[in-house]
Structure formats: structure tokens, C-alpha cells
Amino acid sequence: MSIKKISKDQPDNFEFTEKSKEIAKKIISNYPEGKQQSAVMALLYIAQRQNNNWIPLSAMKYIAKYLDMPYIKVYEVATFYTMYNLAPVGEYFFQVCTTTPCMLRGAYKLVDVCKNKISKNENEISKDGKISWVEVECLGACVNSPMMQINDDYFEDLDEQKLEKIIENIKQDKKIEPGSYKGRKSSEPENNRSTLMDVKNA
């Protein structure tokens, strides 16, 4: 897993759009008076969504001022949590889970596909600008491993051929379908249910 790096190319300014301000205001209103700084994680997420899925330093400074808190505290949060991207990512951002269950079921074969089909190294955007990838810790879908998250969606029960097909579809501007690539519903057993057969909707 690579170390998070802050982009050398930084925009000079950042400001919430009116829509982002409305969302931020609603979130901040959930906190008691004097505790509004606790909304920092949510506001960082809003900034990331607004800015093509990454957070520039100017956004951290803006949020610090917005919440009346020291800039270094916002910086500490943004650099600590892996869900915040501190450099530009591809239009399709692949997060490949390589924690033990996924690793045992072939996650590093998926990593090899990413290296061969997207970019040699993590956090490098493909030549066409569409895709970047990174290894991440557990995404909480162990039973459907190996899996990955692409933008907001989970892609589960993958193998090399299925991932290569997903990448090819992206390059051809075709729609990609999230969910299990073995046809499973949610996290049901691979070979159909064999217990609780007398329980409806189990």
C-alpha cells in the first residue's frame, strides 16, 4: 500500500458552491453550539465531492476558516484518513481491497491487472485520464471477496478476466454494473442456501 502524497500542483483558491454550502449548513446544524468543529470530516468529504474526488490544500484552509478552527487540525484529519484523496484521481477511482480475506481469494491478481491495464504504480492516472487505482484496507464485503470499490459502488466476486472486462468497458465508454460478478444477491452463499430452509425471507 502506497503512502499518501499531497499533489504538487495546487489550485490557489477554493470555495464551496451554493449547493455545498447548503449541505454543510445542514450538517453543522446537527451539532450543539460550540461543537461545530466536529463536522470537519463531513465538510472534507463535501469538498472532495465538489472537487473531482480530491482535496487541495486551499480547501483545507477554507474549511478551517469555515469552522473557525486551526488549519493544522483540518490538515491532520485529511492526511490521517485514507478516504480523503490529496491528489487528483481518475474519473473512475479503483480501490482494491487487499486485506486477508480478499488476499486469500486472489486480490493480488487484481492488483496485477491494475498494474498491467491502468498504471504501473498506485495513485497514477491512466494515460487516457479515466482510471487510477490504489490498494486499501478492508471494505467490509469479505464474504464476496475478492472485491473493490469503484467510485461509490462495490464490485464483488471478481477475478482477472472480469476485472479486465470492466476496465475495457470503461475505456470504451460502456456502462459498468456494480454488485456480484457471480450473480449472487447481496452476500448469499455461492452454491445456494443450505440452512434455515424452513424460514421465509432468510
Within 10 angstroms of residue 58's Cβ, the number of other Cβ atoms is 16
Please report the pLDDT score of residue 5 as a whole number: 80
Please report the pLDDT score of residue 82 as a whole number: 85
- The structural domains of the chain, ordered by start, are 18-80 (1.10.10), 92-179 (3.40.30.10)
Residue 7 makes CB contacts below 8 A (sequence gap 6+) with: 54, 56, 86, 87, 88
Q: Residues 37-94: pLDDT tens digits?
A: 999 999 999 999 999 999 999 999 999 999 999 999 999 999 999 889 999 999 999 9
The model's pTM: 0.84
Q: Encode burial over 130-146: b for 16+ CB neighbours within 10 A, e otherwise.
A: ebbbbbbeebebbebbb
Q: Residues 116-157: pLDDT tens digits?
A: 999 999 999 999 999 999 999 999 999 999 999 999 999 999
